Chain A
C-alpha cells in the first residue's frame, strides 16, 4: 500500500496531477517564466487574431448574423466541410493505421522511400495537390477514365473533395502512430500469445488499447486539417453552391466581395464548431489514455 502513495507523491512532484502543493520543488525550475511565455505566445499567434474574427463578426446585428450563418447555401457548406472531412479523417484513421503498422513492423525493399513519401502531402503546396488530383481523377484523367464508367464521378463532386481531403490528412495518422507502434513492448504480445490468445484478440485487447490515444490524436489532427483545407479543394470540387461548395470557400468569396463582416460571421461559426469538435476528441483521448496508462 505504501508503494502506491509513494508513487503518487512522486508523480505529483513532477506536476502531473497539478494538485501538488506550491511548496513542492520541481526538477526543472522556471515554471512561471515558461508559462508566461507560452501564454503570451499563444495569445499573439492564435488567440488575438481569432478574437479579431469575433470582433469583426460583431459589427453586424444579431439578426443579420443569424440569417447569414443559417442561410441555405452556408448550411449546406457546413455539412459538406464537416461531413466529408469526417469521412476523410475516418478513412485515414483506418488506412493510416495499416500503413503505419506495415512501416514499423515489416522491413521490405523501398521501405525508407515509402516512409519519406508519407510526408509529401505536408510539404506539397495544396494548390499543386488539387490540380494534380483533378488531372488524374477528371473524366478523361489517368484514373478517372476507369472510375467514371463505374459511376464514380471523382472530379468536380463530393467524391473529389473526399479524395483531396484524404490525401492531405494521411500523414497525420501515420506520423502520430509510428513512434507509439515502435515503442510497443513485444513481450506483451508474446505474453498474450502464450496465454492462448489469437492474433485478433491480441490486437484488439492488447495492442489497440495501447495505441488508441495516439490514434485519436492522428485522427483529430487529420480532421482539423481537413476542415480548414482550401487550396486543393477549390480545384477538384467544382465549387457548385449547395453541392460541392465548402465553407472556407464561402468565407473567401465574401472577403473578395468586401463583405468582411459576413465572412467573419461564417468564420466565427466554423471556429466554434471546430473548437467544440476538437475538444470532444481531446476528452476522448484523455479517457483512452487513462485506460492505457492507468492511474499513477
Chain B
C-alpha cells in the first residue's frame, strides 16, 4: 500500500516537531526515516500510525493507498507498529502476545481458536521463534523479544509496517543479523515498511529509500547512493558518513566567507610525499596520528598555516609506502570536493591536476584561501 503524507505539522507545546512535511512512499518499498534525535522522525512515524495526530486535521493529510486516514485511530488503519522497547505484554506468553490482535477482533470477525493458534505458529516460524510460544517475554533475549513484537504486529496482516528504531536497544552483533534478516524478510512479504533510525549505516544498508530529516523538516529523499554521493545540504553531507569540513573563501566579500563551507570525504583525500611534484591544487598538512587498525588506514592531519584538523582514509599499502609518522609534512590533494556557498551547491572533481568544477566561477584559488 502506498503512503502519502501531505503538509504535516506538529507542535508539542512550543516545540515544533514537524513543519509542513510531505512524504510519499511507494507500495512495497522499505524506507528509512533518518535523522538526529529531535528531528521529528519518530513523530512523523507516529502520525502515520495514528498514535499522534497533526496539528490541523484540515490542512494536513495522511493517505493510505489514496484513502484519507488523517483522523482514523491507530486500530483502524491496518498498520503494524513495532516499538523501540518492544512494548510486549509482560504478563502474557509469547503466544498470547502474538494472538492479541486477532483476539481483539469483534466476535463476528474473530477466527476460531484453532485457526488463531495455527496462525500464531506460522508467525513464530516466520520469525524463527517456533517452540518458544509458551515462554514469557522476560525469558527471551532482546533480539527474540523484538521478533515477537514483529510477529505480533504482522498477525493482523498489516498493509503497512512501521518500526520505531527497531534495533536501537540491541547490541551490535544482534543488530547486524537482525538487520539483514529484516531486509530479506521484507522482500519476501513485500509489505510497505517504514523504519526510523538515527544510525546512518543502518539506513544506508537496509533501505530502498532514505528520508533524511533535520529540525522538523525533510532535508533530502533518495536512494542510499544518491543521498550519500549527492547530498543537497551541508546537514546531509555531515550526517551521512565522515566528512572533513573547511571554511572556504568563495565569494569576494569577507563577510560572506564564513558561510562558505567546503566538504571532503576522507576517502577523497589523497596524500603524497611533501617533495612530490607540486600539484596546482595541493596543500600542505602535518601528520598528527596514524590509525592503522581496520580495513583502511586513517590519518589525522593538520593543515599547515590554518591548523584546521582533518582526516584522510588511505589503503594500508599506501600507508606503508608513504611511511607516515606524526610530525611529517605531506602534500594533500582533494579528489572530490563539495562546496556550499550560501546555500548554493557546487561540486568539483580534480582530475589529472586540473579542476573540473560544475560552476565556472569556482576557482582553486578561492577554494583554499
Contact = CB atoms under 8 A, between A and B. Distances in A.
Interface of A: 3-4, 7, 185, 187-188, 190-198, 201, 205-206, 209-210, 291-296
Given A190-B74, A292-B91, 5 more contacts: A187-B84, A192-B100, A195-B156, A294-B138, A295-B136
Contact of A190 (B87, B88, B152): B87
Nearest to A6: B141
A210 B91 contact: yes
Contact of B136 (A196, A197, A294): A294
A198 B137 contact: no
A5 B49 CA distance: 37
Interface string B94-137: 00000011001100000000000000000000000000000111
Contact of A194 (B49, B90, B139): B49
B137 A294 contact: yes
8 contacts: A4-B135, A191-B149, A195-B101, A195-B155, A197-B104, A201-B104, A210-B91, A296-B139
Given A187-B87, A195-B75, A196-B105, A7 B100 contact: no
Nearest to B137: A294
B243 to A, nearest CB: 35
Instruction: Tell me the interface secondary structure of chain A in the complex.
Output: helix
A293 B138 contact: yes
Range of interface residues on B (Cβ < 8 Å): 35 or more
B73 A3 contact: no
Contacts of B138: 7, 293-296
A-B complex: 4 closest residue pairs judged by Cβ atoms: A294-B136, A195-B101, A187-B87, A197-B104
Contact of A185 (B50, B87, B105): B87
Instruction: Tell me the interface secondary structure of chain B in the complex.
Output: loop
A3 B141 contact: yes
Nearest to B131: A1
B179 interface: no
Contacts of B325: none
Contacts of B57: none
Contacts of B89: 188, 191-192, 205-206
A193 B136 contact: no
A31 to B, nearest CB: 25
A196 B139 contact: no
A196 B149 CA distance: 15
A143 B73 CA distance: 44
A7 B110 CA distance: 37
Nearest to A288: B91
Contact of A294 (B84, B85, B139): B139
Nearest to A212: B91
Contacts of A201: 104
Contacts of A296: 138-139
A190 to B, nearest CB: 5
Contacts of B152: 191, 195
A7 to B, nearest CB: 7
A294 B90 CA distance: 7
A196 B75 contact: yes
B194 interface: no
A161 B207 CA distance: 68
A195 B83 contact: no
B62 interface: no
Contacts of A198: 75, 104
Contact of A3 (B76, B100, B140): B140
A198 B50 CA distance: 14
Interface string B62-94: 000000000001111001110111011111000
